[in-house]
Amino acid sequence: MPDAVAGSGAAAPASAKPSFLSHLADRRIAAMLGLGFSSGIPFLLVYVTQSAWLAEAKVPIGILGLLSELTLAYKFKFLWAPFLDRYDAPILGRWLGRRRGWIVATQAGVALTLSGIAFGDPAHWLAWTVVFSLALGFAGATQDVVIDGWRITVAPAERQALMSSFAEVGWRVGNLAAGAGALYLSDAYGWRAAYLCMAVLMAPGMIAALMAPEPESDRNAAHVNSQARAGFVETVIAPIRELITRLGPMAVPILVMVAGFRMPGYVSSAMAMPLFKSLHYSNTDIATVTKLFGFGVALSGTFLASFVVPRIGILASLVAGTVFGSASHLALAYLAIHGGDGGGAFWTFAAAVSIDSFAYAFASIVLITYMSSLASSEHAASQYALLTSLCALPGSLLAGASGFIIEDVGFAWFFVGTALLGVPVAILCVYVWRVHPRTDAPAG
């Protein structure tokens, strides 16, 4: 990375290190914090946090499992991403530019759909909640696409790591608000007030989008026209074709490994909240353990992964990540047997969830690092979006049947089963490690 900050005029001395405040003086960085915050709000409110509301409304466990499919828009967002790259948002695009226009439009969509959910009643009219939740998933996934597009086009390559870091900080705070914040508000004021407050919390992201600098591509009509001539189908297919060609004979095992790596975690997480509610933990207890404790625990798992990967290699870390991540579900099986009585087993609850959260964070960072190494520089954004969709889709589809499985075998055996799902994935990781060791180095 160059010593000089891009676009700063004179080069800074090699020994000078920019301070946190100097970073915030860059409009792009300050805007990234706000945009990351708004990006972190919708996902949990589509299903994970909402499942606590649905459980309280006595929605059957089988239906709860099916409703995990409400997040499918996040798995298929790459299909409409090219459209957002080539066309302006109606009206707003003319005033704000293509990227920022779509950002504000999607943020308004998130706020409106959150308000729609707030005025629903899943106990008596579940269809209303489902329709607005599907719309929220689409708006939230599209917001992620356009924010990533703005980040990539507004800053040069040497600033992308910094932009991503600030986006992650904002996202975690937004995610904390949508998790712990919404649960605390629901206990104090009810679910309608909680969802309306989450809609209001989209305002900082909108302000950030309005204050953000306009990417050069928004002002470059020739760039837009050349993108339009590329064709929708070719834009979607080209990154896939390049990735498969470059991986060669190892394309299938590598892509299957990516698809299966987080599958146990996705299936397990779909039924974590129903487990907690079945054990009679309050929303406040759940928020304290999963979000406040979980915030620090997840950061610890992230830091450990950042320490381990450079020392043992990415493929060895993948093996460790899938084994550790899947085995951690046994802690939830233990909780299903020994938890319960509300706060009577609070520390059993806290220990089990902390083990699972730590392992999930570790495995996620390892997978993100590996998927980043697979993407070529030419198709980095498209291929990364494709890989993230691939790693999420199988687990999300399988999670749809999780409620029916629990009806047959119970929570404890269900989580034992999700732990065992990691065994074939770990074997595949070892195979790729032995046969394709060159993926230990980032792609050039």
Instruction: Say how far apart CA 20 and CA 296 lie, in whole Å.
Output: 21
Q: Are 47 and 133 in contact (CB under 8 A)?
A: yes
Mean pLDDT of the chain: 80
Report the candidate in 69, 147, 134 with the shortest Cα–Cα distance to residue 105: 147
Average pLDDT (26-45) is 88
Fold (CATH) for 231-444: Growth Hormone; Chain: A; (1.20.1250)
> 39 vs 386, which has greater pLDDT?
39
Distance of CA 235 to the CA centre of its chain: 24
pLDDT of residue 111: 97
Average pLDDT (416-437) is 88
The letter for the amino acid at 63 is: I
> 228 vs 73, which has greater pLDDT?
73
Q: Are 281 and 349 in contact (CB under 8 A)?
A: yes
On the question of pLDDT at 90 being above 70, the answer is yes
On the question of pLDDT at 388 being above 60, the answer is yes
On the question of pLDDT at 173 being above 70, the answer is yes
pLDDT of residue 226: 45
> 7 vs 326, which has greater pLDDT?
326
Q: Are 253 and 439 in contact (CB under 8 A)?
A: no
pLDDT of residue 333: 93
pLDDT of residue 162: 64
The letter for the amino acid at 365 is: I
pTM for the model stands at 0.66
On the CB side of 376, CA atoms within 13 Å amount to 12
pLDDT digits (tens, 9 = 90+) for 208-243: 999 988 877 666 544 444 444 556 677 678 778 888
Residue 341, exposed/middle/buried by CB under 10 A (0-12, 13-18, 19+)? exposed
Residue 420 — very low, low, confident or very high, per pLDDT cuts 50/70/90?
A: very high
Q: Are 389 and 310 in contact (CB under 8 A)?
A: no
Instruction: Say how far apart CA 252 and CA 259 lie, in whole Å.
Output: 10
> 183 vs 231, which has greater pLDDT?
183
Average pLDDT (401-413) is 87
- CATH topology identical between 19-229 and 231-444: yes
Q: Are 404 and 58 in contact (CB under 8 A)?
A: no
On the question of pLDDT at 377 being above 50, the answer is yes
Residues 6+ apart with CB under 8 A from 97: 88, 214, 215, 218, 219
Domain extents in the chain: 19-229, 231-444
The structure tokens listed for 298 are: 């997840």
On the question of pLDDT at 91 being above 50, the answer is yes
> 191 vs 302, which has greater pLDDT?
191
pLDDT digits (tens, 9 = 90+) for 16-25: 455 545 555 6
Instruction: Say how far apart CA 172 and CA 141 lie, in whole Å.
Output: 16
pLDDT of residue 7: 35
Choose the weakest-confidence range: 92-101, 157-166, 332-341, 381-390.
157-166
On the question of pLDDT at 121 being above 50, the answer is yes
Distance of CA 51 to the CA centre of its chain: 17
Report the candidate in 434, 437, 408, 405 with the shortest Cα–Cα distance to residue 421: 405
Report the candidate in 272, 265, 263 with the shortest Cα–Cα distance to residue 64: 272
On the question of pLDDT at 436 being above 90, the answer is no
On the question of pLDDT at 429 being above 60, the answer is yes
On the question of pLDDT at 112 being above 90, the answer is yes
Report the candidate in 354, 334, 340 with the shortest Cα–Cα distance to residue 291: 354
On the question of pLDDT at 197 being above 50, the answer is yes
Report the candidate in 261, 325, 338 with the shortest Cα–Cα distance to residue 298: 325
Phi–psi pair at 271, nearest 5 degrees: -110, 5
Our CA dihedral for 76, 71, 43, 118, rounded to 10 degrees, sits at 130
The SS3 assignment for 19 reads coil
Instruction: Say how far apart CA 111 and CA 201 lie, in whole Å.
Output: 8
CATH number of 19-229: 1.20.1250.20
Residues 6+ apart with CB under 8 A from 435: 250, 253
On the question of pLDDT at 352 being above 60, the answer is yes
- Residues above pLDDT 70, as percent of the chain: 81
pLDDT of residue 380: 53
pLDDT of residue 28: 82
170-195: b (≥16 Cβ within 10 Å) or e: bbbbbbbbbbbbbbbbbbeeebbebb
pLDDT of residue 230: 55
Report the candidate in 286, 289, 288 with the shortest Cα–Cα distance to residue 273: 286
Choose the weakest-confidence range: 225-229, 371-375, 385-389.
225-229
> 363 vs 342, which has greater pLDDT?
363
CA–CA distances in Å: residue 317 to residues 34, 278, 423: 32, 35, 15
